[in-house]
């Protein structure tokens, strides 16, 4: 059975799953219940400067039948007095010595303020400190949160102040509200942080109510930008994580990275590990399903690790990083085409329409008698009726014209009905970099490109 224990920059926890700093970690009583449910650690809801919250502070993006594909919040850091938070953290750590208790902090950009909060956190017996340079709303307007995280020089300066006094591990949490996530991460490395974490929430307006014309959520008829999180942000988080783990400076620094942003299932968790995370944080999924989610996360991850032969979390961490490539290094001769499994196909024709209107017009509708039907020639009123399904034309891909764009695969509603299969292209493997090196004119001039295509047999239609 896989060993889920981790040692993250010296912070030990029985599994890699920590609650992210957010509403599920607002109080000692809550985290106590979370630890009873099995969570390996918790990052306490950010403590620091005095704040007042508004009510009606979460918006959500529902899509189809999926509730909370993303959440948007205009909540601030902890609005409970700092003394109460510190007392509860002390009690929690005493009760749960084997769990990771990390405290998120955010104060004004003054060395004394940071020195003071770091000392107060250390006095609680907490295992680590997370620096919140990410909150994109409310605090950023006051010069904190993402106002710091977006400026690498500020990240470096404040982290240096923290490192002057900190004796427990310090995790620098990054904001995704920046063009190049690598720059603040490098600043963390330069300042001597012990670890990095990402991503905090993404600036967003989640919607406008078409009845009242107000933003959602609306606070007395007014609203504003808030932080976006949940399943919808996972691809952005994964890309930022991979960017850090493939950056020479960040990767060579050896700083461990705590990954978060949309983790809901064990499959999400495994993907974050494969792209370089060595601890995982979860917020929105817990706000949606509760602390019991931890059972599925641990069971699923552990079963998958057993099936794949991974003994420890460290064995999984970064295993897919060697697959991360730049476009210029991809094989331009690789050829895949779409294959439809006609036994599974329900003849909904979504693939046909997608290919016809948005791809390369290479799916034919073939009638039961073998004739190619004119587009939409069948009786649309029969759509979905079982008795009419045998008489409907079925989609057939013309291999020679398929460019392998994968649009039909993506729109098909039936699992495994369309497969992308590799076919020999008849061309030598070659990358854009290699073409540029061998004959730079090809990559700079359309006429030369045309000649090259003719020479190697690339037909564009």
* Residues annotated as catalytic (active site), given as ranges: 135
- Structure tokens belonging to residue 330: 């991809």
Residue in the structure block whose two tokens are 């603040």: 184
Among 305, 338, 365, 442, contact with ligand SF4 (rule: CB under 6 A): 338
The residues, any chain, with a CB within 8 Å of residue 183's CB and separated by 6 or more, are 152
Piece in contact with ligand SF4 (CB under 6 A), picked from 192-200, 240-248, 279-287, 348-356: 348-356
CA distance 56 to 22: 16
- Structure tokens belonging to residue 450: 């045309």
Among ligand FMN, ligand SF4, none, the one that 22 touches (CB under a kind-dependent 5 to 8 A) is ligand FMN
- Structure tokens belonging to residue 298: 């641990």
Instruction: Please tell me whether residue 217 binds ligand FMN under the rule CB under 6 A.
Output: no
Among 13, 21, 216, 246, contact with ligand FMN (rule: CB under 6 A): 21
What minimum distance in Å lies between the beta carbon of 402 and ligand SF4?
Answer: 3
Instruction: Please tell me whether residue 49 binds ligand SF4 under the rule CB under 6 A.
Output: no
- Structure tokens belonging to residue 336: 């895949």
Among ligand FMN, ligand SF4, none, the one that 338 touches (CB under a kind-dependent 5 to 8 A) is ligand SF4
Q: Which of 89, 98, 84, 108 is nearest to 14 (CA)?
A: 98
The residues, any chain, with a CB within 8 Å of residue 440's CB and separated by 6 or more, are none
- What residues between 234 and 273 interact with ligand FMN by CB under 6 A? 260-263
Query: Which one, 220 or 424, has the nearer CB to ligand SF4?
Result: 424
CB-based contact 314:9 (threshold 8 Å): no
At 243 the three-state DSSP class reads: helix
Instruction: Please tell me whether residue 104 binds ligand FMN under the rule CB under 6 A.
Output: yes
What minimum distance in Å lies between the beta carbon of 369 and ligand SF4?
Answer: 18
CB-based contact 49:107 (threshold 8 Å): yes
CA distance 402 to 335: 10
C-alpha to C-alpha distances, 389 to 108, 286, 367, 378, 454, nearest whole angstrom: 67, 43, 11, 11, 43
- What residues between 356 and 375 interact with ligand SF4 by CB under 6 A? 359-360, 362-363
Instruction: Please tell me whether residue 23 binds ligand FMN under the rule CB under 6 A.
Output: yes
Instruction: Please tell me whether residue 137 binds ligand FMN under the rule CB under 6 A.
Output: no
Query: Which one, 79 or 116, has the nearer CB to ligand FMN?
Result: 79
Among 282, 355, 365, 417, contact with ligand FMN (rule: CB under 6 A): 282
- Structure tokens belonging to residue 325: 């490539």
Piece in contact with ligand SF4 (CB under 6 A), picked from 179-187, 303-311, 368-376, 411-419: 411-419
What minimum distance in Å lies between the beta carbon of 328 and ligand SF4?
Answer: 23
Query: Which one, 319 or 339, has the nearer CB to ligand SF4?
Result: 339
Instruction: Please tell me whether residue 13 binds ligand FMN under the rule CB under 6 A.
Output: no
Among 183, 321, 345, 373, contact with ligand SF4 (rule: CB under 6 A): 345
The residues, any chain, with a CB within 8 Å of residue 58's CB and separated by 6 or more, are 71, 72, 73, 75, 217
Q: In a 10 Å sphere around its CB, with 0-12 CB exposed, 13-18 middle and 19+ buried, how is residue 124 labelled?
A: buried
- What residues between 42 and 71 interact with ligand FMN by CB under 6 A? 45-46, 58, 71
Instruction: Please tell me whether residue 202 binds ligand SF4 under the rule CB under 6 A.
Output: no
CB-based contact 282:20 (threshold 8 Å): yes
Instruction: Please tell me whether residue 34 binds ligand FMN under the rule CB under 6 A.
Output: no
Instruction: Please tell me whether residue 389 binds ligand SF4 under the rule CB under 6 A.
Output: no
What minimum distance in Å lies between the beta carbon of 152 and ligand FMN?
Answer: 19
Q: Which residue spans within 64-141 are E strands per DSSP? A: 66-73, 100-106, 128-132
Query: Which one, 243 or 394, has the nearer CB to ligand SF4?
Result: 394
Among ligand FMN, ligand SF4, none, the one that 348 touches (CB under a kind-dependent 5 to 8 A) is ligand SF4
Query: Which one, 132 or 246, has the nearer CB to ligand FMN?
Result: 132
CA distance 310 to 193: 29
What minimum distance in Å lies between the beta carbon of 277 and ligand FMN?
Answer: 12
Q: In a 10 Å sphere around its CB, with 0-12 CB exposed, 13-18 middle and 19+ buried, how is residue 8 labelled?
A: buried
Q: In a 10 Å sphere around its CB, with 0-12 CB exposed, 13-18 middle and 19+ buried, how is residue 135 labelled?
A: buried
Instruction: Please tell me whether residue 150 binds ligand FMN under the rule CB under 6 A.
Output: no
At 271 the three-state DSSP class reads: helix
Query: Which one, 64 or 309, has the nearer CB to ligand SF4?
Result: 64
Helical axes 152-165 vs 182-191, angle rounded to 10° = 30
Among ligand SF4, ligand FMN, none, the one that 418 touches (CB under a kind-dependent 5 to 8 A) is ligand SF4
Site residues (vs ligand SF4, CB under 6 A): 338, 340, 345-351, 354-355, 359-360, 362-363, 395, 397, 402-408, 412, 414, 417-418
Site residues (vs ligand FMN, CB under 6 A): 20-23, 45-46, 58, 71, 73, 75, 77, 104, 132, 134-135, 173, 200-201, 227, 229-230, 233, 260-263, 282-285
């Amino acid at each position: 059975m896989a060993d889920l224990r981790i040692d993250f920059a010296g912070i030990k926890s029985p599994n890699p799953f920590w609650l992210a700093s957010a509403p599920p970690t607002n109080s000692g009583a809550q985290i106590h219940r979370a630890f009873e449910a099995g969570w390996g650690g918790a990052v306490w809801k950010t403590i620091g400067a005095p704040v007042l919250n508004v009510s009606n502070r979460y918006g959500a993006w529902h899509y189809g039948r999926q509730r909370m594909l993303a959440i948007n919040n205009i909540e601030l850091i902890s609005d409970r007095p700092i003394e109460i938070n510190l007392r509860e953290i002390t009690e929690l750590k005493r009760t749960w010595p084997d769990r990771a208790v990390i405290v998120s902090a955010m104060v004004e950009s003054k060395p004394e303020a940071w020195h003071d909060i770091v000392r107060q956190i250390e006095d609680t017996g907490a295992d680590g400190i997370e620096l919140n340079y990410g909150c994109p709303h409310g605090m950023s307007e006051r010069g904190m949160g993402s106002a710091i995280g977006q400026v690498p020089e500020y990240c470096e300066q404040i982290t240096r102040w923290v490192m002057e006094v900190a004796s427990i591990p310090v995790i620098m949490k990054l904001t995704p509200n920046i063009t190049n996530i690598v720059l603040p991460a490098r600043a963390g490395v330069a300042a001597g942080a012990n670890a990095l974490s990402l991503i905090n929430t993404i600036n967003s307006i989640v919607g406008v109510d078409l009845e009242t014309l107000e933003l959602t959520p609306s606070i007395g008829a007014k609203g504003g930008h808030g932080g976006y999180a949940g399943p919808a942000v996972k691809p952005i988080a994964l890309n930022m994580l991979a960017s850090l783990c493939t950056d020479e400076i960040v990767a060579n620094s050896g700083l461990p990275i705590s990954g978060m942003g949309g983790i809901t299932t064990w499959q999400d968790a495994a993907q974050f590990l494969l792209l370089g995370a060595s601890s995982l944080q979860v917020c929105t999924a817990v706000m949606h399903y509760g602390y019991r989610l931890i059972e599925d996360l641990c069971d699923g991850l552990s079963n998958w690790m057993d099936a794949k032969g991974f003994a420890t979390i460290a064995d999984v961490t970064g295993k897919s990083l060697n697959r991360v490539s730049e476009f210029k290094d991809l094989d331009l001769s690789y050829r895949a085409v779409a294959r439809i499994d006609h036994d599974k196909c329900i003849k909904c024709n979504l693939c046909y329409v997608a290919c016809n209107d948005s791809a390369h017009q290479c799916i034919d509708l073939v009638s039961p008698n073998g004739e190619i039907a004119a587009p939409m020639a069948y009786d649309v009123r029969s759509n979905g009726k079982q008795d009419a399904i045998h008489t409907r034309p079925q989609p057939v891909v013309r291999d020679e014209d398929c460019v392998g764009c994968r649009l039909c695969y993506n729109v098909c509603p039936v699992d495994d009905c369309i497969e992308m299969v590799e076919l020999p292209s008849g061309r030598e493997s070659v990358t854009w970099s290699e073409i540029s090196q061998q004959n730079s004119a090809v990559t700079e001039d359309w006429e030369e490109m045309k000649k090259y295509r003719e020479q190697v047999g690339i037909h564009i239609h």
